[in-house]
Amino acid sequence: MALTAKIHVLIFPYPAQGHMLPLLDLTHQLATRGVSITILVTPKNLPILDPILSEHPSIKTLVLPFPPHPSIPPGLENVKDLPIQAFVSMMCALRELHRPIVDWFGSHPDPPAAIISDMFLGWTHHLAVELGIKRFEFSPSGALALSVIYGLWWSMPKKDDPSDESQVVSFPEIPNCPKYPWWQLSTVYRSYVAGDPVSEFIKEGFWGNMKSWGLVINSFSELERVYIEHLRKVLGHDDRVWAVGPLLPPDNDHPSGPVQRGGSSTVSVEEIKSWLDEREDQTVVYVCFGSQAVLTNDQVRELALGLEKSGVSFILCVKEPTKGGHVCAGSCATPRGFEDRVAGRGLVIRGWVPQVAILRHRAVGAFLTHCGWNSVLEGVVAGVALLCWPMGADQFSNATLLVEQLKVGIRVCEGGQTAPDSNVLSRAVADLVSEQHAEIRKRVKALRETALAAVKEGGTSVKVLDELVEHLATL
């Protein structure tokens, strides 16, 4: 579908890889359908746009200086270069772009009629109201996770005992009544202190999300139908919730892997592919914890020992220190001699990995993941069984969906500070690539076909994307 008349939209991503990439994938879909687009970005993050700007030369950029913030060292404008606690600082810093955006808007000959901005930029709802345009929240999280986030900020639950981190919080208004101990709830929410200016700004941001004109979510109806319907109900606008996922890179038709969207690696893409080519179908376990998770040395040790004891072939992705000097988990933290002992059946990669290409290789049968939503969708689209180790943020909700409801995975550990038992882990890893869990593998293969059908011509998500563009055209 292509527009007969151009509609101009401002895209404003939050500068964290797990947030930026799916919103850029959405941007690609909108540009393909004829939407005129400007992407707001700070100077250090401009190179991340190179692939999409090359694909769509018509896309414009609005490059604004990153606002200084006392908690963010100069020159660091992406969360991947900062500790996890920097999420809130980044949210606060970016609100200082409010006035520069208003000034740009006032001087632009063809100002946007709408803004699509990340869920961590809820203040842009008030910006849109000031400008007289519509703001659409983009959620890189799934519908169940977003339902829980909305439930938290709407009802504002408190602990009966301030020292009790295990107190269970229930969400009876959400389908299937999910419940979580306090320590598994959003870190951003748990850090809320009534009356604190930063806390109140964060709260107003999430309330702004719930007041925004529309919601675009990286999920699809066949995966989370009841939760998408729930979001429509609680937001009060049935026709302005668009589930457009799974959002995939532009060249997703090539299973060998999309364009590189990460940094440097100790192993080339060609070496990884050659290594996998030598393995039998669905025998390799891929292990990766995303761009943000930071493991302790104890966790890395137990993880490595579990993989060693399992006897299976595996690819283990570990991190290197970031530019900001914050040492991430796994950098030289594997047990002494580990790589020599697993040589031939284990491949250890430090730095960036071509995750989509690895997951889609015929040799990979299971994915040990932190359950970040992008990783979940990539695993589902690849049709691999999931070993779930949720650590924070929306990951506990995602694990609920995968393990209890869809039954396409099993839990192997929980928590950002909990180390798994290497013996338990080794059995789980070995079982999931054997006939022990044939039903799980059968279900995830079926889910893969459903996901791929959703993004093919005539599929549910393609139709929803077309409806979104038609709605934008009415503005």
Give 305-355 pLDDT, tens digit per residue.
999 898 999 999 887 544 433 334 334 467 788 877 888 889 888 877 889
pLDDT single digits (tens) 183-208: 999 988 998 888 899 999 999 999 99
**Residue 2 buriedness (CB in 10 A; 0-12 / 13-18 / 19+):** exposed
Please give the pLDDT value at position 323.
Answer: 41
Range in 85-94, 299-308, 413-422 the model is least confident about: 85-94
Residue that is written with structure tokens 């593998």 in the block:
441
Please give the pLDDT value at position 293.
Answer: 73
* Residue of 380, 373, 385 whose CA lies nearest to 448: 380
Q: How far is CA 183 from the centre of its chain?
A: 20
Is cis: bond before 172, omega within 30 of 0? no
Q: What tokens were used for 245? A: 């996922």
pLDDT exceeds 80 at position 212: yes
Please give the pLDDT value at position 333.
Answer: 64
pLDDT single digits (tens) 2-39: 554 579 999 999 998 889 999 999 999 999 999 999 99
pLDDT exceeds 50 at position 277: yes
Please give the pLDDT value at position 413.
Answer: 92
What's the whole-number mean pLDDT along residues 426-451? Answer: 91
What's the whole-number mean pLDDT along residues 135-146? Answer: 97
For 201, residues 6+ apart whose C-beta sits below 8 A from its C-beta are 91, 92, 95, 123
Please give the pLDDT value at position 434.
Answer: 83
Range in 62-71, 292-301, 421-430 the model is least confident about: 292-301
What's the whole-number mean pLDDT along residues 395-422? Answer: 93
Residue ranges of alpha helices (H) inside 108-252 are: 124-131, 143-155, 187-190, 197-211, 221-235
What's the whole-number mean pLDDT along residues 111-116? Answer: 96
Q: Which residue has the higher pLDDT, 299 or 103?
A: 103
Inter-residue contact 114 to 475 (CB < 8 Å): yes
Share of the chain above pLDDT 90, in %: 65
Kindly report the pTM of this predicted structure.
Answer: 0.90
pLDDT exceeds 70 at position 438: yes
Please give the pLDDT value at position 85.
Answer: 62
Please give the pLDDT value at position 263.
Answer: 57
The beta-carbon contacts of 261-264 under 8 Å, at least 24 apart in sequence, are 261/21, 261/48, 261/51, 262/17, 262/352, 262/353, 262/354, 263/351, 263/352, 264/351, 264/352
Please give the pLDDT value at position 180.
Answer: 96
Q: How confident is the model at residue 294 (pLDDT cuts 50, 70, 90)?
A: confident
Please give the pLDDT value at position 255.
Answer: 37
pLDDT exceeds 70 at position 264: no
What's the Cα-to-Cα distance from 126 to each of 66, 231, 260, 350, rounded to whole Å?
A: 20, 21, 36, 42
DSSP 435: G
Give the chain's domains with CATH numbers. Answer: 8-248+456-473 (3.40.50.2000), 269-452 (3.40.50.2000)
